[in-house]
Structure 1
């Protein structure tokens, strides 16, 4: 692929008090990865300098004065750097979730989304952020995905996907209290979440994805003696999906369904709540996982782990998950550049 055909991928530095800046420095130091896209690092110059210093990897970049200038570059041998002034050094305390850092992240991501909508970039890969800091800094939603959806004008169903070594997971409820999970177990949500991940896997090159749905209750409800959601809601949703041309299986007990994935029998699992899938997938490879923001009109990815405040500034953060997120962003960004949505439909 020639340089002018490469997807333009924005790398956002993430929470300034966390490990994000050093991760982006380590990532951009890898020439093998940088050849996959026309890359622009986006963030505060002082923070970018600090990230390189902590990581111990000076990175040569080409300054640009706008997102539009990135695609117009004659050569992509070096990452571009777009300077933004979102937070002052004196307002950042390393390893602390605070309002200035959260506001910085919101500002940065909003400008990246605007650039994607304007077709100036093709994908966004952001370093870890902290929801508490973002809420202190002005986030009005339960998480960043809902903020993205509102900013992008999404009216349909959306949810996070978590990926690891070819296994994708989604869930019908996300960042909500555990006591509220049962009210989210609705047939329509199961159908929408399953259809979304099925179509997304097809758009990513899997012609016939093997998707399974988890149950909610212990032992899949034990025939209704330990909860009836499997009988009354989840199984009917699976039958409706099959009838509509989305051949999925389940429900399977949540404590065994990931054994099928481990043994290579599944491409994706739809879970009922956050930790049902997150505990399993993080045990399978905490330093490798990726979060894909599913259902949005533009590709947005991030490592599945957090800001790691406890090790921020030490230079020891593992870059593998960030590298995996970047690779997925490149692949999806190439499709987006070809005027396809995340799900392979013309925009």
Structure 2
């Protein structure tokens, strides 16, 4: 039996509907999973027009009516109550509200395992905040909606290489104070479990240092000596295949070229993001790791500057779909 994936169009002001049209139009994608699109029918049709891709779909009222074991996707025609046109290529409260309400529907279905995973096209954080999202990002918002109080982390994925981070959306001046052995070990555990759910049998994990040249034996800071190295030892003692700390300016070259690691744990947001996006911006994926349901999305944004031009690259959305399918199959098993 194929898994059922909830697919969201993202912010209507951006390239999301075009990306989903390109993704779903591929017969091989429809053959791998049953697809339940949650979004405004007019936006999906517009996305197909922009992408110059067409496919048939079945209109349904709820998840129970979704087509199963067929190559035809289903669509829940979700619209805001005011049903007004969306502004394009700009952040708006309505675009954010549309995204949040679609999230809510998909989370309910996926939490109940009616859909086994959730894939969403890019959303706009400014729009989300304009619509009332009080958390720093959608991942924290997901955790609240799911009443989840455990550890979670944003994974960034490029092809077969995954990254997690000990800190995320905080100022650089605050990072050092947030680095603890417990948090580093927790990041190792999270990425290990995420990789396992995505089909990696024995994840190999590298851990970055924090300071230039890995601190140079304490000359440029002691975080490596006092926090990170002991945390790696603790992770290994718990049975995780973790190594480090490694200098952040070389570990990604080694991971990419020698392929000796499946995941890299970084200490702060841009330490991993810059490397991953330079290596493959249009292939990068975000996985919302640690949450009780699989959620993936392309790592790039809404690309307002190319909305409606028919040249959005579906590469990262395809990769996000691939991971969502693997994680959904894991839930089925």
Q: Structure 2 length as normaliser, TM-score?
A: 0.96
Match of 2:53 in 1: 57
Match of 1:206 in 2: 200
SS at match of 1:121: coil
Alignment of 1:1-347 (within 5 A): 5-70=1-66, 73=67, 75-86=69-80, 90-263=84-257, 264-338=259-333
Alpha-carbon displacement from aligned partner over 1:195-241 (angstroms, at most 9, x marks no partner): 11112223333232210100111111111121111111111101111
Partner Cα separation in structure 1 for residue 209 and residue 50 of structure 2? 44
Q: CA deviation at 1:74?
A: 5.4
Partner Cα separation in structure 2 for residue 191 and residue 39 of structure 1? 36
Contact 1:87 1:104 survives alignment (8 Å): no
Contact 1:87 1:100 survives alignment (8 Å): no
Q: Structure 1 length as normaliser, TM-score?
A: 0.93
SS at match of 1:85: coil
SS at match of 1:162: strand
Gaps (5+ residues) in structure 2? none
Moved more, 276-285 or 43-52: 43-52
Match of 1:343 in 2: none
SS at match of 1:248: strand
Moved more, 119-128 or 84-93: 84-93
Q: 1:254 to 1:335 in 2, by over 3 A?
A: same
Q: CA deviation at 1:183?
A: 2.0
Q: 1:202 to 1:219 in 2, by over 3 A?
A: same
Partner Cα separation in structure 2 for residue 52 and residue 179 of structure 1? 45
Instruction: Say what the alpha-carbon RMSD is for the aligned residues.
Output: 1.4
Partner Cα separation in structure 1 for residue 295 and residue 127 of structure 2? 20
Q: CA deviation at 1:118?
A: 2.3
Contact 1:91 1:100 survives alignment (8 Å): no
Partner Cα separation in structure 2 for residue 198 and residue 280 of structure 1? 20
Partner Cα separation in structure 1 for residue 174 and residue 164 of structure 2? 18
SS at match of 2:156: strand
Alpha-carbon displacement from aligned partner over 1:277-323 (angstroms, at most 9, x marks no partner): 01101111111111111001111100111111111111100001101
SS at match of 1:255: helix
Partner Cα separation in structure 1 for residue 152 and residue 28 of structure 2? 32
Gaps (5+ residues) in structure 1? 339-347
Aligned length: 332
